[in-house]
Amino acid sequence: MSLFYLRKKIYKIIFLTYKYFIKPKKQVKSIYGIYLFPAFKDKTFKYYFKGTYGTFLSELIKSIDTKTLFVDIGSNQGLYSILAGQNKNIDHVISFEPSLQTSKLLKSNLKLNHITNCKVIQKGIGNQSGKTQLHVSESHSGKNSMRDFNDVKSSTNETVEIIDHKELNKLIPNHHRIFIKIDVEGYEEIVIHQLIECSFFENVYQIFCEVNTNWIDVNSVKEMLQKKGFKSFDKIGKNSSHYDLLISRQ
């Protein structure tokens, strides 16, 4: 049994104590070592607090030892943007989060953790620039999606701005070494299509991408990226239909 697993058990108890008894109004400290603005009704906050997302990506971000630009597409409340901002070797972080309410939490959490090298862009990425509807889950911001489906229970719609590769290209500096994390609830394939069209993409050395095989054609994505020089596609997680991919040029 790992130390992190044991700590998760402890943080679960702390979470329940906070939620039902203490009900803090100010910052709380997550198992990942970052401070968060309390949002106890939201499952993403709960997962951030007690470690549901595991340690693979958090440790990978901490291990980056060369000057890097970190691009967080679907940054939600900012767990990975904050961890990236705390790594002195990551000189700049760009976080995309289209939801107004979630981006407010993101900015609050960045401020709580004294992250000053992160630029928040309140936009999504799509096939063309304009406006679209974001299905917003009332209880789990991690389920917010621009996909036209009925999987988001108890949801409302929020009109958000989206941009295509032409606008994206203007927002991402042509850094010599770029790491991209993508978690956009079914829009991953569209985002990758747009990224490939950008001039900075040749400097992307790794992509960490959520995969749900009900929404994304994994073989198509692999073929697309192999043509752009990516050679390694490492599956993270045991679920056969919902997992993460670490995509690398080496």
Q: Across the strands, what pairs with 178? A: 69, 204
Q: Work out the mean pLDDT of the chain and round it to a whole number.
A: 96
| Beta-sheet pairing, 204-212 with 242-248 | antiparallel
Q: What is the pLDDT of residue 155?
A: 76
Asked if residue 74 lies in contact with residue 142, where contact means CB atoms within 8 angstroms, the answer is no
Q: What is the pLDDT of residue 150?
A: 54
- List, for residues 160-182, the tens digit of each pLDDT value: 999 999 999 999 998 999 999 99
Which residues does 83 contact at the CB level (< 8 Å), separation at least 6? 32, 34, 58, 61, 62
Asked if residue 179 lies in contact with residue 64, where contact means CB atoms within 8 angstroms, the answer is yes
Q: What is the pLDDT of residue 154?
A: 58
Residues of the chain with pLDDT under 70: 1, 149-154
